[in-house]
Amino acid sequence: MSNCSKTEPENALGEATLVGRLSRLLAAIADELACAANEVVMLGELMSQDAVKLERREAAYDLQAFDLFAQTAHAHARLLKRLAEGDAGHSSDGISALIEEVPFAHIRQRLLTAVSGGNSKPFSEEANGSEVSWF
């Protein structure tokens, strides 16, 4: 039986229903993101196999870039899934603890900054035309 069939008590504002819907949405987004990450891994493997056949030296680097992207997507998917399941509780400390499990320091810092209400540059702006540091 799926989580979608659970019923939640409603208060006058319907907040329980909204929270349930948001939780299900987060869980669905997490699943979609995990599937997309798997597709990225397969694409990276195909591209790297072609590069190896052509004796391209950058093939290993290309595969690593796809792998890092896939790891990042999987980390976000896990984070979303755990948030949807209520693992963070009702505190910012709980959310921060979940974010601390994200494997890449730059991403962790951007997410922690976002949770604290600070201004964090998006990934694309952080790169600023140069190569992005994943670590």
What's the whole-number average pLDDT of the chain?
75
Q: Which range marks the domain in which residue 33 is found?
A: 16-123
Q: Is residue 8 part of a domain?
A: no
Instruction: DSSP letter for 11, please.
Output: -
Summarised one tens digit per residue, pLDDT across range 9-39 is 545 455 567 777 878 888 888 898 998 888 8
Q: Is residue 4 part of a domain?
A: no
CB of 32 within 8 A of CB of 81?
no
Summarised one tens digit per residue, pLDDT across range 53-69 is 666 666 667 777 778 88
**The two three-digit tokens of residue 49, written as one number:** 């196999």
Q: Please give the model's pTM, rounded to 2 decimal places.
A: 0.65
**The two three-digit tokens of residue 115, written as one number:** 């949770």
Nearest partner of 37 among 88, 9, 71, judged by Cα: 71
Q: Is residue 98 part of a domain?
A: yes
Nearest partner of 98 among 117, 80, 123, judged by Cα: 80
Q: Is residue 10 part of a domain?
A: no
